[in-house]
Amino acid sequence: MMTLISILALSAVGAVFGGLLGWASKTLKVAGDPRVDELEGMLPGGQCGQCGEPGCRQAAEAMVAGKLGPDCCPPGGRSLAQSISSMLGVALSGDGEDVMVVAHIDESQCSGCTRCFKACPFDAIVGANRQMHTVIRHVCTGCRLCEKACPQGCLSMQPVAPELHTWQWPKPRVA
Amino acid sequence: MLGLRKKPFSGGIHPRGHKELTENTAIVSSEEPRRVCLSLQQRNGVVLRSHVNVGDTIVKGQLVASGPNDMCVPLHAPINGVVEAIQPHVSAHPSGLKTNTLMIKGNGDPTWGIPHVPCDTSKLTPEEIIQRVLDAGIVGLGGAGFPSGLKLRFARQKGVKTLLLNGGECEPYLTCDDRLMREKAAEIAEGAALMVRAIGCEQAIIAIEDNKPDSISTMQSAVADRPNLSVQIVPSLYPMGSERHLIKAVTGHTVPPGQLSTEIGILVHNVATAQAVFEAVRYQRPLIRRVMTISGGALEQPTNLIVAMGTLVSDLIARCGGLKMEAARLVAGGPMMGQVLPSPFVPIDKSIGGILALSADEIRAEQSHDCVRCGRCVNACPMGLMPFQMAAHSRVSDLDGARHFGLDNCLLCGACSYVCPSRIPLVQYFQHARSSLNASRTMERKSAHARQLTEARQARLMREAEAKKAAKAARSKTRKRPARTPRKKADSTDSTPTSN
Amino acid sequence: MVQFTPVAGPHTHGGTSTTHLMFLVIAALVPATVFGLYLFGINAVIVLLACVSSAVLFEYIGLKLLGKSTHSALDGSAILTGWLLALSLPPSTPWWIAVSGVFFAIVIGKTVFGGLGQNPFNPAMLGRVMLLICFPVELTDWRLPNPPQQGADGLLLGEQWLSTNAIDGVSAATPLSQLTGALPSLSELTTGHHAGSLGETSALLILLGGLFLIWRGIIHWRIPATLLLSIAIPAAISHAIAPESFGSASAHVLSGGAMLAAFFIATDMVTSPTSPKGQILFGIGCGVLIWLIRTFGSYPEGVAFAVLIMNATTPVIDHYLKPAVFGQPNRFSL
């Protein structure tokens, strides 16, 4: 008898709480994830598409959904990946330092077609029609959009060489 | 050990001095170098503009390069000779990166190209003194390398009351300040008096560690007839040469973290800087040479030398008799805070106070082990930080965690690494964490900038589209009006594409 | 070969190594240990040897399994753990019980956390507590000391001194279990001529070892001083109020493991806080807990429990009680 009562009582408690949870999940549902907006604000907003998504908004959605890793945004670099991973609570895979690249125009080959600077979401390329173009190196984020746009093949991505004030101490190698 | 002796600040260590190698021999003037190399880029990345071209004949003391503002001091030719080349050359930076460098081939003539007659310094106004210091290209000779003239001007604006001259020289091996105080006490005193006048402060205190009795007595007699100058003895404890710790030891005041000493009315300069100020103001001589300790257990004849800027380290080692055994590391500066040299062909710059050729026995490099949390680093830290925690967080790239335990306040003095029984390279962890923190800050700034740019671009594109639309609308309007009269059909066909 | 690759300073070192520190601590333990062996005889020697050798063995195996350098099996830390555990055991403990305690201390207490420096709890005390719970009879079987006597023809070694059989000896109460009753005299407590753990009886010799460590800068006075004071102060107050139910301060401080804990166990580098304020708080916590457990708990001795409880607070203490940054007004940095 006691056994039966306990089983019944526990089942009843289970049913009540189960119902409560089910009700709560329906009525208290939040439309959309507020983190998407926040994340979108953190992204560079160049809509460069290097992450594989059509734009930064979609990338933010994919990251919140867990489809993309926090390090999917090359223009944002390591520091963006770190702040995204801490915001989403996702572990950042790998410890490698990323290699920064910037666009470089081989000026002897440039025909002045203006396609690269029209493609640049950051206005990091200056030039005019039929004039030689050049890259403002400290503005370029290395998003590679211009590389695809160039019909001459004279635009390449080059790694940024460290300078005295940007050189980083290596982490000590410890047994 | 039991805290019986009163220490002026908590923490600090007593490293083995090794000063006996050089402290009892007089400063030697080295002969004119055959070649000097002057880097045209400062450590902070600012590029200097050269005023000379390859092939130009230049004279000792001539201005050869200057920067875009007062933050970079001008460069002067340290020797008479010819500009041989302007090309990338390794600089005194642990990275070994090459910077654009002015190479001058000397002709061996030691005379100054421009006559430097002594002037009556008593007639100079404070601003004239400061300008002469700036023009002479003087930077802090203690190692920080900040333009001294700017420091003086800033201190004058802040109404600094006390000038502190740092004769601490707490780094092991280095004795150049000690020798300079013994041999040129009068010039240091005169330089100090000039700086007092430039700042408009009340007094200058020359602080000397108690392990330099000869310096103390010479300096004391040199300042005896100057009422606003005095000598104060401070206990020898590393890092006494740190500005904040010297101020605490001399005045008892502390500078709050994140603030400059001028906030509490004190300016600190090195004694060697005072001597350079004297030469610059009295003779208008630019800073083209400095006294430097060349020492280390691997060196044949450790010496204090007067060295022309831009002399190669290899030449200096050869001047000191060469190496008597294999050197494990060449170090610019003292063994505690000095930087390892990336090559023996590094040229000397203004902020290097010594060159050490250290043998393996002196470095005692050993395999590091796990931290046992013994807390010796916490006790040794003069800044009251927790080095082992900072290193543990830096190791896993948790920079915020490292900052929580004091990364931003760290002096990189190395006291923690010196005492660590597990031989953990604490300082390198901090250097690494600092530089990656810097890099990520730069990156953040850059991506914020990029965001602004895309927004601006989008706004511009929209404006352009609107303008185009408006222009087209206006054009169709102007066309419409004359079209009102005869050809109505043609007009309507024209206007259709505009709607697209 | 000159090294030109970037390596940060300092380009010199004070020369202290972990091994050096560990062996100094062991050296400081030697007087109290030798005295304990002299008092309690052959079985005490067996317990000590079993503990130390098995500690090194377990540490070596553990490091092998972890895939780490086996350097730290011989750096003295394992020896020290085994040694401290031996000193805290009754001298009549069978060797196999001691070895199982060492196994728990080294493998469960240290290796599974990642080896030296990673363990949150004092391994020796973990082993001690495990044994106390698993072998309550053997771990509370105290013997009267039976030191060799000066006889007519050399030293006379008593039968009990030579015995390795636990049943032979005369059981006795430790001073702790009769804190309020018939205590050994103060001089007996100080020199250690009373029943108790292998190496805990002589307060004087432990104090000597501890002062040696403080003098050599291996440990700081903060933890020992605050620990002993915070046992003594509540004991003195309660004893003054009701002497019939509370033990006196001297009895509390000099008996049981208080001295050993103050100088050698609570000061274990790995499991104690590193900041000055944290060390003081840690010492106070240990002391008060020892007194509370001894007075109100069901076990007569509370050192192991108190130290383990405070070990658990160490990470929190280290996180919040940082030393004051130079130049900042001295305050709690919460």
Paired tokens of C50: 């079993």
Q: Which of residues 346-365 of B touch C (CB under 8 A)?
A: 356, 358, 362-365
**Residues B35, B311: Cα–Cα separation, whole Å:** 7
Residue C74 falls inside a structural domain: yes
Same domain, C209 and C117: no
Q: Which residues from A are below 8 Å from B394, CB to CB?
A: 171
Q: Are B202 and B243 in contact (CB under 8 A)?
A: no
**Residues B498, C5: Cα–Cα separation, whole Å:** 67
Rg over CA atoms, chain B: 29
Paired tokens of B30: 């080295």
| Helical residues (DSSP H) of C147-275, grouped into ranges | 159-162, 186-191, 203-215, 222-241, 249-254, 258-260
Domain count, chain C: 2
Q: Which of residues 132-161 of A touch B (CB under 8 A)?
A: 138-139, 141
Residue C164 falls inside a structural domain: no
Among chain A residues, CA nearest to C70: A175
Q: Which residues from B are below 8 Å from A139, CB to CB?
A: 446, 449-450, 453
Put simply, whether B428 touches C (Cβ < 8 Å) is: yes
Q: Which subunits sit against C, judged by 3+ Cβ pairs under 8 A?
A: A, B
Q: Which subunits sit against B, judged by 3+ Cβ pairs under 8 A?
A: A, C
**Residues B335, B404: Cα–Cα separation, whole Å:** 28
Same domain, C200 and C116: no
Same domain, C134 and C228: no
Interchain pair A168, B435: CB under 8 A = yes
Among chain C residues, CA nearest to B298: C2
Same domain, C128 and C240: no
**Nearest neighbour of C12 by CB, restricted to B343, B381, B418:** B418
Interchain pair C12, B362: CB under 8 A = yes
**Nearest neighbour of B375 by CB, restricted to C2, C8, C269:** C269
Mutate to test the interface with A, among B93, B447, B455, B460 (most CBs of A within 10 A): B447
**Residues A150, B290: Cα–Cα separation, whole Å:** 54
> Into which CATH architecture does domain A101-159 fall?
2-Layer Sandwich (3.30)
Q: Which subunits sit against A, judged by 3+ Cβ pairs under 8 A?
A: B, C
**Nearest neighbour of B421 by CB, restricted to C18, C220, C318:** C18
Residue B381 annotated as lining a ligand binding site: yes
Interchain pair B435, A123: CB under 8 A = no
Torsion of CA B316, B318, B322, B323, to 10 degrees: 50
pLDDT score for C261: 92
Q: How many residues are listed for chain B in this entry?
A: 500
Same domain, C52 and C135: yes
Residue C238 falls inside a structural domain: yes
Residue B377 annotated as lining a ligand binding site: yes
**Nearest neighbour of C2 by CB, restricted to B328, B383, B431:** B328
Considering only the top CATH level, what class is A34-88?
mainly alpha
Interchain pair C69, A169: CB under 8 A = no
Q: Which residues from A are below 8 Å from B97, CB to CB?
A: 162-164, 167
Same domain, C205 and C122: no
**Residues A75, B272: Cα–Cα separation, whole Å:** 47
Q: What is the pLDDT of residues B25-36, one digit of tens each?
A: 889 887 888 899
**Residues A83, A72: Cα–Cα separation, whole Å:** 13
Q: Which of residues 5-34 of A touch B (CB under 8 A)?
A: none
Please state the three-class secondary structure of chain B as a single string.
Answer: CCCCCCCCCCCCECCCCCHHHCCCCCCEECCCCCEEEEECECCCCCECEECCCCCCEECCCCEEEECCCCCCCCEECCCCEEEEEEEEEECCCCCCCEEEEEEEEECCCCCCCCCCCCCCHHHCCHHHHHHHHHHCCCECCCCCCCEHHHHHHHHHHHCCCEEEEEECCCCCCCCHHHHHHHHCHHHHHHHHHHHHHHHCCCEEEEEEECCCHHHHHHHHHHCCCCCCEEEEEECCCECCCCHHHHHHHHHCCCCCCCCCHHHHCEEEEEHHHHHHHHHHHHHCCCCCEEEEEEECCCECCCEEEEEECCCEHHHHHHHCCCECCCCCEEEECCCCCCEECCCCCCECCCCCCEEEEECHHHHCCCCCCCCCCCCHHHHHCCCCCCHHHHHHHHHCCCHHHHHHCCHHHCCCCCHHHHHCCCCCCHHHHHHHHHHHHHHHHHHHHHHHHHHHHHHHHHHHHHHHHHHHHHHHHHHHHHHHHHHCCCCHHHHHHHHHHHCC
Residue B374 annotated as lining a ligand binding site: yes
**Nearest neighbour of B386 by CB, restricted to C16, C217, C322:** C322
Q: Tens digit of pLDDT per residue, chain B (500 long)? A: 334 456 788 888 999 889 988 888 889 887 888 899 999 988 777 888 999 999 999 999 899 999 888 788 899 999 999 999 999 999 888 888 889 999 999 988 888 888 788 888 888 899 999 999 999 999 988 767 788 999 999 999 988 999 999 988 889 999 999 999 999 999 999 999 999 999 988 899 999 999 899 999 999 999 998 899 999 999 989 898 888 999 999 988 888 888 888 888 999 999 999 999 999 999 988 999 999 999 999 999 999 999 999 999 999 999 998 898 888 999 999 999 999 999 999 999 888 889 999 998 888 888 888 888 888 999 999 998 999 999 999 988 888 888 888 899 999 999 999 999 999 999 999 999 998 888 888 888 887 888 888 888 888 889 989 999 999 988 888 776 555 555 444 444 444 343 33
B491: closest CA among B472, B481, B473?
B481
Question: What does the domain layout of chain A look like in residue ranges?
Answer: 34-88, 101-159
Q: Which residues from A are below 8 Å from C69, CB to CB?
A: 175
Among chain B residues, CA nearest to C5: B342
Q: Provide, rounded to the nearest whole percent, the portion of chain A with pLDDT above 70.
A: 94
Put simply, whether B145 touches A (Cβ < 8 Å) is: no
pLDDT score for B241: 86
At B168, the amino acid letter reads G
Q: What is the pLDDT of residues C172-209, one digit of tens each?
A: 667 666 665 566 677 777 777 778 888 888 888 999 99
pLDDT score for B80: 92
Residue B72 annotated as lining a ligand binding site: no
**Nearest neighbour of A175 by CB, restricted to B367, B442, B455:** B367
With both helix axes pointing from N to C terminus, report the angle between B271-283 and B126-135 in degrees, rounded to the nearest 10: 100
Put simply, whether B95 touches A (Cβ < 8 Å) is: yes
**Nearest neighbour of C8 by CB, restricted to B172, B255, B428:** B428
Interchain pair B386, C216: CB under 8 A = no
Q: Which residues from B are below 8 Å from A38, CB to CB?
A: none
Q: What is the pLDDT of residues B366-403, one digit of tens each?
A: 888 888 888 899 999 999 899 999 999 998 888 888 88
pLDDT score for B316: 92
What secondary structure letter does DSSP report for A93? Answer: P
Interchain pair C10, B330: CB under 8 A = no
Range of the domain at C316: 191-320
Interchain pair B419, C16: CB under 8 A = yes
Interchain pair B370, C3: CB under 8 A = no
Same domain, C292 and C203: yes
Q: Are C168 and C159 in contact (CB under 8 A)?
A: yes
User: Where is pLDDT greater, at A108 or B499?
Assistant: A108
Interchain pair C8, A175: CB under 8 A = no
Using a CB cutoff of 8 Å and minimum separation of 24, what contacts does A32-36 make? A33/A61, A33/A64, A35/A64, A35/A87, A35/A88, A36/A60, A36/A61, A36/A64
Same domain, C207 and C123: no
**What residues of chain C score a pLDDT lower than 50?**
331-334
> What distance in Å separates residue B73's CA from the closest CA in chain A?
17
pLDDT score for B498: 39
